[in-house]
């Protein structure tokens, strides 16, 4: 990634500290990803993106900015990309998934804050992530308490818009979310200088629906008895979907899905027969958080589905297309986004229904419900998740972890014992 030094300098990044990150990532990626056998050829695209992770997409974004486009950084799957795209803006996901950034976050946040938040704040304040430097505006949301307070700190350093997300799903909450989306659209229009028209929003809705369909096709292939792709590879595709160009993302995912469908027809699998099928549910896994998937898939299991925001919550449900007015479009967006089932909501029985449904659809042997340390909403909801799964006769293992490797061996022991018990 050395060709990008000039760009990083112009972004006022801390080059020395950033170098340290650039040095560890290739080894980590090699150990976790390149050690896998018989990977789909289509994964070459995502391998390439990772090899240039702080170079290729950031340089595209800077080029776009030179042509007058604005970049919006987001942290949550409730924020509607469609609105930004309709104003010729660009969305990039900003959630931090590396322990590398956590100490930077801990300089201003209590240690007892979830690692995703600490890493996101650290990546910005330590100036070690180009995406955090490039974004013209950050878009926060009122989901968990940690995020809400983190926006106040980030907002001192960068322009920030916060969307007030209701935490119940009554009709009046959906109306409120539609109104909030409308307000967000006005902010986006102001920042970009472009009016959002019905036509442009319809086109953006179509673009993001196409991306959802492409991601769903890859997930569909993971329902096959002979798994054509590892969970680690599917996770990588999903993580990069958050900051890639949506049309290219759809095209690459569709190419991969073509290959996977052929593999299924040819009976090609990346796991040996009898490998236990695991659904992972819980808190999101932002790039480069591959820890749990790696442990599961080197302990005799295969991850067949992720019930999380870096998983099914990102692509399930489409937005109604070709509506005639902005009001109707904002409402359609609100209806779709409020179908996401985050533990920040109460009640959140829809998530339990999702997990039970996904267990059937993906023919799951067991569930690992993972919680990022200090995420109290998912932690508390773990009780209900585990109870429902036990009642349905589906084995479940609840775990809590962070971004460090300190607990890796202990986790491996627990995961191995769980998988053995499934057999
Ligand atoms: S819709 S899961 S992306 S809020 S893990 S920061 S909840 S303390 S990331 Fe999330 Fe939106 Fe919900 Fe999804 Fe807080 Fe929990 Fe940390 Fe979290």
Nearest 10 degrees: CA dihedral of 266, 269, 274, 276?
Answer: -130
Q: Is the CB of 121 under 6 A from ligand 1?
A: no
Ligand 1 atom nearest the C-alpha of 113 is: 8
Ligand 1 centroid to residue 143 C-alpha, Å: 7
Task: Give the pairing of strands 137-141 and 160-163.
Answer: parallel
Q: Which of 81, 115, 309 to mutate to test the pocket of ligand 1 (most atoms within 8 A of CB)?
A: 309
Would the pLDDT of 72 be above 80? yes
Query: How far apart are alpha carbons 115 and 120 in whole angstroms?
Result: 8
pLDDT of amino acid 1: 62
Neighbours of 37 (CB within 10 A): 6
* Shortest-distance atom of ligand 1 to CA 116: 16
CB contact set of 17 (below 8 Å; sequence gap of 6+)? 126, 127, 128
Q: What is the distance between the alpha carbons of residues 359 and 347, in angstroms, rounded to a whole number?
A: 21
How far, in Å, from the CA of 289 to the mean position of ligand 1?
A: 15
Ligand 1: which atom is nearest the Cα of residue 374? 8
> Is the CB of 371 within 6 Å of ligand 1?
no
> pTM of the full predicted structure?
0.97
The number of C-alpha atoms within 13 Å of 367 and in the hemisphere containing its C-beta is 30
Statement: residue 2 has pLDDT above 70? no
Residues 23, 20: Cα–Cα separation, whole Å: 5
Annotate 261-273 with b (16+ C-beta within 10 A) or e (fewer). bebbeeeebbbee
pLDDT > 80? residue 62: yes
Q: What is the pLDDT of residues 360-406, one digit of tens each?
A: 999 999 999 999 999 999 999 999 999 999 999 999 999 999 999 99
Residue 3 has pLDDT above 90, yes or no: no
Neighbours of 383 (CB within 10 A): 10
Most informative mutation of 91, 141, 147 for ligand 1 (most atoms within 8 A of CB): 147
Ligand 1, atom 11, residue with closest C-alpha: 76
Q: Please give the average per-residue pLDDT across 243-249, as a whole number.
A: 98
pLDDT digits (tens, 9 = 90+) for 150-161: 999 999 999 999
Between helix 349-361 and helix 376-391 the angle, nearest 10°, is 50
Residue 309 CB less than 6 A away from ligand 1: yes
How close is the Cα of 376 to the center of ligand 1, in Å?
10
Give 313 Cα–ligand 1 centroid separation in angstroms. Answer: 12
397 pocket-lining for ligand 1 (C-beta < 6 Å):
no
* pLDDT at residue 135, as a whole number: 98
Q: What is the pLDDT of residue 423?
A: 86
The alpha carbon of 136 and the centre of ligand 1 are apart by a number of angstroms equal to 22
Report the pLDDT value the prediction gives residue 321, as an integer from 0 to 100.
98
Span 198-237, pLDDT tens digits: 999 999 999 999 999 999 999 999 999 999 999 999 999 9
Neighbouring C-beta atoms of residue 405, cutoff 10 Å:
11
Buried b / exposed e along 179-205 (16+ C-beta atoms within 10 A): ebbbebbebbbebbebebebebbbebb
The number of the ligand 1 atom at minimal distance from the alpha carbon of 371 is 5
> With 60 as the cut, is the pLDDT of residue 59 above it?
yes
235 Cα to the center of ligand 1, angstroms = 17
Query: In this structure, what token pair is assigned to residue 333?
Result: 């967006």
How much distance in Å is there from the Cα of 76 to the middle of ligand 1? Answer: 7
pLDDT at 9 (0 to 100): 97
Beta strands in 210-343 (DSSP E): 276-282, 301-307
The whole-angstrom separation of Cα 238 and Cα 252 is: 12
SS3 content of the chain, % helix, strand, coil (to 5): 55, 10, 35
- 307-360 pLDDT, tens digit each: 999 999 999 999 999 999 999 999 999 999 999 999 999 999 999 999 999 999
Residue 412 burial (CB < 10 Å; 0-12/13-18/19+)? middle
Ligand 1 atom at minimal distance to the Cα of residue 372: 5
For 168-188, write each residue's pLDDT tens digit: 999 999 999 999 999 999 999
Nearest ligand 1 atom to the CA of 378 is 15
User: What is the percent of the chain with per-residue pLDDT over 70, rounded to a whole number?
Assistant: 100
The answer to whether 150 and 162 are in contact (CB under 8 A) is no
- C-alpha–C-alpha distance, residues 306 and 225, integer Å: 17
Residue 141 has φ and ψ, to the nearest 5°, of -155, 155
Half-sphere exposure of 195 (CA within 13 A, CB side): 4
Among 73, 76, 371, say which to mutate for ligand 1: greatest number of ligand atoms within 8 Å of CB: 76
């Amino acid at each position: 990634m050395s060709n990008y030094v000039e760009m990083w300098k112009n972004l006022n990044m801390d080059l020395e500290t950033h170098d340290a990150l650039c040095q560890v990532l290739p080894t980590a990626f090699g150990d976790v990803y390149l050690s896998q056998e018989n990977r789909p050829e289509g994964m070459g695209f995502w391998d390439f993106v990772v090899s240039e992770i702080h170079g290729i997409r950031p340089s595209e974004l800077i080029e776009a900015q030179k042509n007058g486009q604005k970049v919006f950084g987001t942290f949550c799957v409730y924020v509607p990309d469609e609105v930004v795209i309709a104003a010729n803006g660009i969305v990039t996901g900003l959630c931090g998934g590396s322990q590398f950034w956590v100490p930077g976050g801990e300089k201003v946040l209590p240690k007892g804050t979830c690692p995703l938040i600490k890493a996101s704040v650290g990546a910005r304040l330590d100036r070690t992530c180009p995406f955090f430097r490039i974004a013209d505006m950050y878009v926060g949301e009122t989901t968990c308490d940690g995020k809400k307070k983190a926006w106040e700190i980030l907002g001192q350093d960068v322009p920030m818009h916060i969307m007030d997300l209701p935490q119940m799903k009554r009709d009046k909450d959906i109306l409120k979310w539609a109104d909030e989306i409308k307000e967000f659209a006005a902010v986006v229009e102001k920042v970009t200088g472009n009016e959002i028209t019905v036509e442009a929003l319809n086109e953006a809705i179509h673009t993001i629906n196409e991306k959802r369909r492409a991601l769903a096709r890859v997930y569909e292939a993971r329902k096959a008895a002979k798994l054509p792709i590892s969970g680690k590879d599917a996770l990588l595709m999903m993580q990069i979907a958050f900051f890639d160009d949506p049309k290219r993302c759809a095209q690459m995912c569709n190419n991969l899905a073509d290959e996977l469908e052929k593999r299924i027809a040819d009976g090609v699998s990346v796991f040996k027969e009898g490998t236990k099928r695991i659904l992972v549910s819980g808190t999101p896994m932002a790039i480069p958080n591959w820890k749990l998937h790696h442990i599961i898939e080197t302990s005799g299991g295969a991850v067949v589905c992720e019930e999380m925001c870096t998983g099914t919550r990102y692509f399930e449900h489409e937005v109604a297309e070709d509506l005639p007015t902005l009001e109707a479009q904002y409402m359609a967006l609100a209806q779709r986004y409020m179908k996401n089932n985050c533990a920040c909501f109460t009640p959140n029985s829809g998530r339990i229904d999702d997990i039970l449904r996904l267990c059937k659809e993906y023919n799951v042997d067991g569930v690992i419900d993972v919680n990022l340390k200090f995420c109290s909403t998912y932690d508390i909801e773990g009780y209900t998740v585990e109870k429902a799964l036990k009642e349905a006769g589906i084995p479940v293992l609840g775990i809590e972890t962070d971004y460090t490797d300190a607990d890796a061996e202990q986790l491996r022991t627990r995961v191995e014992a769980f998988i053995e018990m499934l057999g």
